[in-house]
Amino acid sequence: MYPFLRLFWQLFITRNAPRLPLTGTHVSHHFCMPWDIDLWRELNNGRTLTIYDLGRIPLAGRVGLIGALRRNRWGLAIAGASVRYRRRIRMFEKIEMRSRAVFWDSRFLYIEQSMWKANGECANHIIYRAAVTGREGIVAPGDVMATMDHQDDVPEAPEWVAAWIEADAMRPWPPMQGIQE
């Protein structure tokens, strides 16, 4: 089940948080609950992606994106992701999540998130490609930024993000064509 109560809690506790610049970092704290674990008593990899919503959505609010989405009746769709898992997160372990936008191009916003253990180790890290969508399809990030009254220059894509964009563009779509059963 989607963690609506946890999401509403995060939105509640950040409702008066100061606004962030577009590339500002939102920091939040979470616990790995019993319903988040897998058979190995650690945070389930799929649940990790859901818990990342608990940082990404408040980030969107703090940079002004949620307001722009509501005003224009736009949506926000995840169009791709690449994740690295490096350390286990056990039941009841507290984590710190860091979320920030790192880059945008003519179609997508790129959002980086990470989860950190109490001992300072990074447990996992993800880069998302997100699209703002409207009735006509994808809304150009430049138009979104204008609606949000942001005049910031587009940051340069970090080398690893640019490499991921390039590698992902080479993937065939639709996938698995020509595979014989």
pLDDT, tens digit, for every residue of 57-106?
999 999 999 999 999 999 999 999 999 999 999 999 999 999 999 999 99
Beta bridge partners of 112: 100, 127
Whether the CB-CB separation of 113 and 52 falls below 8 Å is answered with yes
Whether the CB-CB separation of 92 and 32 falls below 8 Å is answered with yes
The pLDDT tens digits of the residues spanning 114-170 come to 999 999 999 999 999 999 999 999 999 999 999 998 877 899 999 999 999 999 999
Question: What pTM, to 2 d.p., does this model score?
Answer: 0.92
Q: Round to whole Å and give the CA distance between 37 and 60.
A: 27
Tokens standing for residue 151: 């005049």
- Single-letter code of the amino acid located at 98: R
Q: Report the run of H or E that residue 126 belongs to, with start and end.
A: strand 122-134
Residue in this structure with the two tokens 């945008």, named with its chain if needed:
104
pLDDT band for position 177 (cuts 50, 70, 90): confident
Residue in 106, 30, 111 with CA at minimum distance from that of residue 63: 111
